């Protein structure tokens, strides 16, 4: 009888020891543990859900912020598109800074000169140069002339209408401002003056109406000059028209340092008394040496009393050390708003610089600039008219690029 051999278990991957399979060790399974272990998968699920909720909430908050921003931008765009004058800042008379739409229009009219590759060319004429001298005629501060010649301007009884030229361009501004400021047509004959100084008719200011009702104002004009030739021309014309030396004063200035002293010594008086707040109603600066910026800095403490000033921005060496942005800031601290002043007869333009400054304005070139004191009640209407002229200028379809 043959003995049957024991069957050897099939090898299914488990180790066999002494002819027997070794059972696989069971892996740790938290689901089969006690109560605390069985909560683990639920805690993990809760954490995942909480994280997803957190991300959702953050996205919603971000979306709300973007929606809010879009609403503000849309509102501003609608407001800007109405072409309404910007609201004045409360309490100080300054017009609001240019918004983005106004700056875009300003840049279109007074663009930065660039090559076709995009590089700027500061050595060439600037757009604001072309814009302010395009007529080839004399600078005509028409708005200020019309304002002072009208009854809209009320002269303080303690003041004298006072005009000043620092440097003279052999023009009719001294006689014209005496005529305008005093409203005395008979005593200040501009035609006789122009004949006396042999002024070319093309360089003479166009006449404006004097709205005098017989109320003649006291007026004085001071010319501060460095040229003996100009002193002689003015003196001869003044004597020929029989204008008194106290009414049209000619003083020589040897340096910029004595300007303030010259102004202080020649301020006008009423009944022998000089008012502490006696203003300069009209200031014209014309310097052949292109030191306008230096003059303004030397008179910085007196600018607060100036109502209107016109000066020349230049390419000369003195302007290399005096940025226009710094000079505009100086004026602003003294209560003035400044504009590039165009020359084109009755339809001349104004481009506001204060609160609308574009970077390329600091590339110094020739331009005429006029500033008005917006913090003085006696010229408040003039300031409003100049700002209205600026807003009207922006709406014109025009541009002054350098084409050559």
CB atoms < 10 A from the CB of 27, how many?
A: 5
- Looking at residue 353, what is its pLDDT? 98
How many independent structural domains does the chain possess? 1
Identify whether 222 is part of a domain: yes
Give the whole-angstrom CA distance, residue 331 versus residue 358. 17
Residue 89 domain-assigned (yes or no) = no
The one-digit pLDDT tens for each residue of the chain (404 residues) are: 444 445 545 555 555 545 555 454 444 333 333 444 444 455 555 665 665 555 454 444 444 333 332 322 222 333 333 344 443 343 488 999 999 999 999 999 999 987 766 677 777 789 999 998 876 677 888 899 999 999 999 999 999 999 999 999 999 999 999 999 999 988 999 999 999 999 988 889 988 888 766 678 999 999 998 888 999 999 999 999 999 999 999 998 777 778 888 998 999 999 989 999 999 999 999 988 888 988 999 888 889 999 999 999 998 778 888 999 999 999 999 999 999 998 766 678 999 999 999 999 999 999 999 999 999 999 999 999 999 999 999 999 999 998 76
Task: Give the pLDDT confidence score for residue 279 in this predicted structure.
Answer: 96
SS3 94: coil
Taking the C-alpha atoms of residue 309 and residue 141, their distance in angstroms, rounded to an integer, is 10
Distance CA 176, CA 146 (A): 11
Distance in angstroms (rounded) separating the CA atoms of residues 128 and 150: 31
State which H helix or E strand residue 310 sits in. strand 308-313
DSSP letter (8 states) at residue 366: -
Range of the domain at 166: 101-394
Question: Is 43 domain-assigned?
Answer: no
> Domain for residue 403, yes or no?
no
118 found inside a domain: yes
Q: Does the residue 74 lie in any domain?
A: no
In 3-state terms the chain splits into helix, strand, coil percentages (rounded to 5) of 40, 15, 45
Please check whether residue 10 lies inside any domain of the structure: no
Taking alpha carbons only, the member of 297, 318, 308 closest to residue 369 is 308
Q: What is the CATH number of the domain that holds 225?
A: 3.40.50
d(CA 389, CA 384): 9
Q: What is the pLDDT of residue 58?
A: 47
Is residue 282 situated within a structural domain? yes
């Amino acid at each position: 009888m043959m003995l049957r051999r024991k069957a050897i278990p099939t090898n299914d991957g488990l180790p066999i020891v002494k002819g027997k399979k070794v059972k696989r060790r069971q892996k740790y399974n938290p689901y089969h543990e006690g109560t605390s272990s069985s909560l683990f998968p639920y805690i993990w699920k809760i954490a995942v859900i909480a994280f997803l909720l957190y991300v959702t909430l953050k996205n919603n908050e971000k979306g709300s912020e973007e929606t809010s921003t879009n609403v503000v931008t849309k509102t501003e765009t609608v407001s800007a598109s109405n072409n309404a004058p910007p609201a004045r800042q409360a309490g100080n008379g300054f017009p609001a800074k240019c918004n983005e739409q106004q700056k875009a229009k300003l840049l279109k009219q007074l663009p930065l000169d660039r090559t076709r590759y995009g590089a700027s060319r500061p050595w060439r004429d600037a757009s604001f140069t072309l814009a302010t001298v395009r007529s080839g005629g004399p600078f005509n501060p028409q708005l200020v002339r019309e304002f002072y010649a009208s009854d809209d301007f009320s002269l303080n009884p303690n003041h004298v209408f006072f005009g000043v030229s620092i440097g003279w361009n052999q023009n009719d501004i001294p006689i014209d401002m005496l005529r305008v400021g005093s409203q005395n047509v008979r005593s200040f004959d501009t035609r006789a003056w122009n004949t006396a100084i042999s002024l070319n008719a093309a360089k003479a200011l166009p006449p404006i109406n004097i709205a005098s009702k017989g109320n003649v104002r006291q007026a004085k004009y001071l010319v501060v000059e460095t040229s003996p030739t100009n002193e002689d021309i003015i003196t001869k014309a003044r004597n020929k028209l029989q204008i008194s030396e106290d009414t049209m004063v000619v003083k020589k200035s040897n340096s910029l340092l004595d300007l303030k002293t010259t102004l202080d010594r020649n301020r006008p008086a009423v009944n022998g008394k000089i008012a502490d707040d006696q203003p300069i109603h009209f200031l014209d600066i014309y310097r052949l040496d292109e030191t306008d910026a230096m003059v303004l800095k030397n008179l910085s403490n007196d600018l607060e009393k100036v109502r209107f000033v016109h000066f020349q921005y230049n390419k000369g060496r003195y302007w290399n050390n005096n940025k226009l942005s710094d000079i505009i800031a100086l004026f602003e601290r003294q209560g003035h708003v400044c504009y590039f002043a165009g020359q084109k007869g009755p339809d001349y333009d104004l481009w506001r610089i204060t609160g609308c400054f574009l970077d390329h304005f600091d590339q110094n070139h020739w331009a005429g600039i006029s500033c008005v004191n917006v913090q003085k009640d006696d010229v408040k209407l003039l300031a409003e008219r100049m700002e209205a002229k600026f807003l009207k200028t922006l709406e014109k379809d025009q541009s002054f690029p350098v084409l050559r």
